[in-house]
Amino acid sequence: MTTLKQPIVGTEGADIVGPRNPDVEAQNPDILIPPVTDHGGLPNLKFPFAMAHNRLEDGGWAREVTRREMGALEELAIVNMRLPAGVVREMHWHKEAEWAYVLQGRVRFYLVDDQRQTLVEDLGPGDLWLAPAGFPHAIQGLEEGTEFILVFNDGNFSENQTLLVTELFAHTPREVLAKNFGVPAEAFAGIPAQEKYIFRQPVPAPIEQVRAEMGAVTFTDKYVFRASQLTPSRFPGGATTVVDAKNFEVTNLAALFIDLEPGGMREIHWHPDADEIQYYISGRARMTVFDAVNNARTFDFVAGDVGYVPKTLAHYIENTGEGPVRVLNVFHTAQYRDVSLNNWLALTPKDLVRGHLDVGDPLLSSLSSARQPIVKG
Ligand code: MN
Ligand code: MN
């Protein structure tokens, strides 16, 4: 019989004598026994995809973490989708911008923009796309199938409320469709009465053949970005990679990929102008979020979990496991920006810092104005 941890710290707390959920408690040690520095009533900032309703469709699935799942999601929502070989996410568009990150396999992405440029691109693990608000697009698994993450710049977004090509046809008078395309109304006798959303199709032909068969059209690739080819910035304790409008021109969502070695930590910082959504790809980590007045709450994460940090709130991400942590941060801003606590103090006169915090050396002499987003344990 395993001994469950009891919420007792010194003279504070007491044992739990009622029912328990040992699996959930084990994944959330800092919720069961919070650090003594936690205080106040910050809202919940964690939601695992494992607890998100999964929509099973013809050959694939999709699940989402939106404001319905986590009330704090103001500016951003996130979707996880699986499309095996040939399976299609229906042609559609939406009111929000869609930022995508390929986790596994290979995927074909299709988009048409307002300049009548068309995009047909094959992407693999680590690659991105950006579908600007209102631009129609579709997604299809290649032979290997694919799984990916989508981030939208509105917490109220729902993957179940996008504008679908099937629904547009189903809800337009047939004679209007006939006039619009210059064909007899009978041409639309077989259109589906309902959405297809996710459905099986044959694996598409090689990309060169598909492009050639499309004839005289203007291709663009500006809405995809092969982030897998970037070289990360290395620091003692880990590495970071920024993808924002400086290297991926069309994006209005910035991304930071963080790799933390065991013991490594993303230093204490905040973002002046954007909410941050987090997707944990591997490892175990914890984060404390600090807010006025006297508010701090610590959350634990494993692979597949979603975290959130409202703009301007201080936070860190610490690797608390035995293996490496990989976490993706996406921001509701075109350019990545942060403020480092260490840099702030280092760039303030020492006497002023000493007067506030009643500290001396070693802290005052170890402050650094150099950019060091990751620190080693
Ligand atoms: Mn979409
Ligand atoms: Mn951050």
Q: Is 53 a catalytic residue?
A: no
Give CA–CA dist 133/231, Å, rounded.
29
Q: Cα–chain-centroid distance for residue 326? A: 12
The ligand with the least distance to the CA atom of 287 is 2
Q: Pick the closest to residue 218 from 65, 321, 116 (CA basis).
A: 116
Q: Which residues contact 333 (CB under 8 A, 6 or more apart)?
A: 244, 252, 253, 254, 271, 273, 274
The ligand with the least distance to the CA atom of 316 is 2
Q: Which residues contact 358 (CB under 8 A, 6 or more apart)?
A: none
Q: What mean pLDDT is predicted for residues 11-37?
A: 97
Q: How far is the CA of 339 from the centre of ligand 2 (A)?
A: 9
pLDDT at 2: 61
Give CA–CA dist 64/12, Å, rounded.
38
Place of tokens 């005052």: 364
Question: pLDDT of 205-240, one tens digit each?
Answer: 999 999 999 998 999 999 999 998 999 999 999 999
Q: Pick the closest to residue 28 from 329, 367, 320, 377 (CA basis).
A: 320
Domains and CATH numbers, the chain: 1-33 (no CATH), 51-225 (2.60.120.10), 229-376 (2.60.120.10)
Question: pLDDT of 353-373, one tens digit each?
Answer: 999 999 999 999 999 999 999
pTM to 2 decimal places = 0.97
Q: How far is the CA of 3 from the centre of ligand 2 (A)?
A: 35
Q: How far is the CA of 335 from the centre of ligand 1 (A)?
A: 22
Q: How far is the CA of 212 from the centre of ligand 2 (A)?
A: 44
Give CA–CA dist 89/137, Å, rounded.
9
CB 75 within 8 A of CB 127: no
Give CA–CA dist 375/263, Å, rounded.
9
Q: How confident is the model at residue 52 (pLDDT cuts 50, 70, 90)?
A: very high
The ligand with the least distance to the CA atom of 328 is 2
Q: Pick the closest to residue 276 from 300, 231, 310 (CA basis).
A: 310
Question: pLDDT of 64-95, one tens digit each?
Answer: 999 999 999 999 999 999 999 999 999 999 99
Q: What mean pLDDT is predicted for residues 241-254?
A: 98
Q: Is 89 a catalytic residue?
A: yes
pLDDT at 150: 98
190-205 as b/e: b if 16+ CB within 10 A: eeeeebbbbbbeebbe
Question: pLDDT of 276-318, one tens digit each?
Answer: 999 999 999 999 999 999 999 999 999 999 999 999 999 999 9
Question: pLDDT of 109-161, one tens digit each?
Answer: 999 999 999 999 999 999 999 999 999 999 999 999 999 999 999 999 999 99
1: pLDDT strictly greater than 60: no
